[in-house]
Amino acid sequence: MGKKKEANLVTEDRWLREEGGRLDYNDRQVLDEASGNGRYRVRVITIRQMLETMSRTEPGNYRKFRKEMERQAGRSLTFEDIIEIARKCDERLEEFTGMVGAMTPGQASQVRTWRVESRMTWRSVARAAYHEDWFDRSWRPPSNQLMGLALCEKAAALLQENFREDPWN
């Protein structure tokens, strides 16, 4: 039997990339789909790792990807620009950010506990907040990754921390 082929799943979510993270049901579903239901070994990587690997192993595809990103941006892009664009979320994230603007210090502390102590992924944090009936449960699905990201970003800011850095991510 030969070595199993690899598939990459790209995310900036630390607890989806590292062992010990508490995955939501939908995180597991995404991983199953990425694995082709077990046909591939899934490697969970960052955007930077994806771009570095792609530029090295698939230069033609990388050039096409970069050209499309530049077309959308309307200008030439550096490697760092592409990473930044990939991190930017669309109008939906803006909506979620506005939604969590009224977060209380107690909620911020709870989000930190979920993310840092319990090692929950962004989807898991969103689902936990949904089950707590926060912000009128006005997001779908309950495990919306962007909502989890918005919750973590707001909570970390209230606690004068950075959600993209340790211990958050």
Does some domain include residue 27? no
| Structure tokens given for 128 | 């936990």
CA-angle at 64, arms to 30 and 82, nearest 5°: 70
| Domain span including residue 68 | 48-87
Whether residue 81 is found in the same domain as residue 101: no
Identify whether 5 is part of a domain: no
**Same structural domain for residues 105 and 139?**
yes
- What is the DSSP code (8-state) at residue 101? G
In a domain, 9, yes or no: no
Query: CB atoms < 10 A from the CB of 2, how many?
Result: 4
Same domain, 72 and 97: no
Q: Give 10-residue mean pLDDT values along the chain (169 residues).
A: 80 91 92 88 90 92 89 87 71 87 97 97 96 92 93 97 93
**How far apart are the C-alpha atoms of 39 and 42, rounded to whole Å?**
9
pLDDT at position 124: 96
Domain assignment present for 4: no
Who contacts 32 (Cβ-Cβ below 8 Å, separation ≥6)? Answer: 38
User: Nearest Cα to 114, choosing from 20, 28, 22, 19?
Assistant: 22
Say how many domains are in the chain: 2
End residue of a domain, out of 87, 113, 140: 87
Instruction: Indicate if 79 and 107 belong to the same structural domain.
Output: no
Q: Which of 28, 60, 87 is the last residue of a domain?
A: 87
Token pair in block for residue 65:
């990807």
pLDDT of residue 65: 87
Is 7 a member of any domain? Answer: no
Q: Measure CA 161 to chain center.
A: 18
Same domain? For 102 and 139 the reply is yes
Domain assignment of residue 82, yes or no = yes
